[in-house]
Structures are given as C-alpha cells and as structure tokens.
Amino acid sequence: MLYKILAGLVLAVVVVVGVYLVAADVAGESKENLSENSMENNLPKYDFPNAVIETSIGAVVVKLYPEDAPKTVENFKKLAGEQYYDGLTFHRVIPGFMVQGGDPNCTSERSKGSCGSGGPGYKFADELNPNTASAKEGYKKGVLAMANAGPNTNGSQFFIMVADVPLPHNYTIFGKVVSGQEIADKISMVKTGMNDRPVEAVVINKITAQ
C-alpha cells in the first residue's frame, strides 16, 4: 500500500515537473520570439529609401539616393539582402575624414589576405553626374559614398564622411546619414594601427536596406 502511494507521488511529481519544463520551454520560445519581434519593431521606419547599418558600436541610419545613383543603391541593397556585409569590418578609419568598410577580406582586426582591396567579384561604373543635388553638396559630414581604386571600379566598399572635406568628385555619393552620425564619429576615433586599421575590430553586424 505504501509502495503504491509512493509510486503515485512519484508519478505526480514527474507529471508536474514535465508540465513545468514544457511551460518553461514554451515561455522561453515566446520570450525569444518577443525579443526578435521587438528588435524588428525597434528598427526605424522612414518614408524614403534607407539603410540601417548595425555595428558593434551602434547603429547608423542613412537615407539612400536612388535618384542620383540608381545602380549604386541597387547594388548596395542587393549585397545587404544577401547578408554580404554581415561580419565585415570598418577596416580603415581616419579621424576628421571618414570611416571605410565593406571589404570581404576584412572580417577581423587580423584579417587574412589583402584587406582593403577586396570586393564582390565584379566592378561597376561610377555615377558622377555633376548636376545631381548630392554632387552639388559634395563630400559633407554624413555623406555615404563608394570607395574605389580608380574610375569605374566600384564593388562593395563604401565610406561615411565624419567631416566636411573638399574631395574631388571621383566617388559616387549614394546616401547620407540621418541618424547615428555620432556612431560614425565614434568609429573614426578608435585606436588604429598600420594602414589606419582599428586595433580592435569594429564589426558590421548587419545592414538592412529598405
């Protein structure tokens, strides 16, 4: 009789524990889903083409200029949608000038290969119409432009200006920061080593283009 009572108690405990574990697991999944949904809901919403550059330091939001540089914007959005930029770094930063990223060879502070010269495996032409609004504004603080190795060598590398600099109009401008300029400024001030590369990697976690 005592055995049956003990067995019944054990069974009851197992059932209760099982229910608790299932409930905890469901709660954990719900919390995880809620967290993911919260992150999505926290992304800024704008009524113009934009991109959110999420970094290990913070997020930078840029307004894109498809009317001034349609091919460049389309390429940037395509690469972002393919998660091409995820895990890459800002491999060249110069205070009072700009921060540069988007090289697939630069995935950490000790990148293998020729960091600074990589690309997506293709090149496309510049979009440098001097009559566009962005061209007339020039390379002001917050401007998003393509880095290149000469005329018509655009690929995936880009830079964000952290100061007004009168550069020659050789780099396709395709956007400008509308939020998070202080993050770009902070990136430009990190400690660097050879070739203006940050000693501790500043990682591009994700770029979401809308």
Nearest to 113 by CA among 122, 103, 123: 103
Q: Same domain, yes or no, for 38 and 78?
A: no
Residue bearing tokens 């067995």: 7
> If you average pLDDT over residues 184-192, what whole number do you get?
97
Q: Same domain, yes or no, for 133 and 172?
A: yes
Amino acid at 114: S
Position with higher pLDDT, 45 vs 20:
45
Quote the tokens at residue 22. Answer: 């299932």
Beta-carbon contacts of 8 under 8 Å, excluding residues fewer than 6 positions away, are none
> How many domains would you assign to the chain?
2
Q: Same domain, yes or no, for 93 and 192?
A: yes
Q: Do residues 69 and 110 make contact, with C-beta atoms less than 8 angstroms apart?
A: no
What residue numbers bound the domain in which 6 lies?
1-42
Q: Same domain, yes or no, for 68 and 154?
A: yes
The per-residue pLDDT for range 129-180, each reduced to its tens digit, is 999 999 999 999 999 999 999 999 999 999 999 999 999 999 999 999 999 9
Nearest to 163 by CA among 83, 109, 97: 97
66 pLDDT band (50/70/90 cuts)? very high
CATH number at residue 131: 2.40.100.10
